[in-house]
């Protein structure tokens, strides 16, 4: 999937700059469908940024996000 290249790029960009809402949404719809990108996100330490930004719920989801 060519999408993965884009998503992993966004995940790495997120460490350096704020992503736009549209970029977070792109990540949020892709990650649940792609274990490769989830692994990448975990790898770079961006554990909960995407789900947090999308849901806007903040802290309470943290514990179960990565089991």
**Whole-angstrom Cα distance, residue 1 to residue 56?**
28
User: Using the 8-state DSSP alphabet, how is residue 47 labeled?
Assistant: -
Residue of 10, 14, 19, 37 interacting with Zn ion (CB under 5 A)? 37
- Closer Cβ to Zn ion, 2 or 45, answer by number: 2
**Polymer length in residues for the chain:** 67
> Does residue number 29 form part of the binding site for Zn ion (CB under 5 A)?
no
Stretch that binds Zn ion, among 11-19, 26-34, 46-54, 59-67 (CB under 5 A): 26-34
Give the other-Cβ count within 10 Å of 53's Cβ. 17
> Does residue number 4 form part of the binding site for Zn ion (CB under 5 A)?
yes
């Amino acid at each position: 999937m060519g999408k993965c290249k884009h998503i992993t790029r966004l995940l790495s960009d997120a460490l350096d700059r704020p992503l736009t809402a549209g970029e977070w949404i792109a990540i949020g719809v892709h990650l649940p469908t792609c274990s490769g990108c989830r692994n990448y996100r975990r790898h770079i330490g961006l554990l909960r940024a995407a789900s947090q930004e999308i849901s806007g719920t903040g802290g309470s989801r943290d514990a179960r996000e990565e089991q």
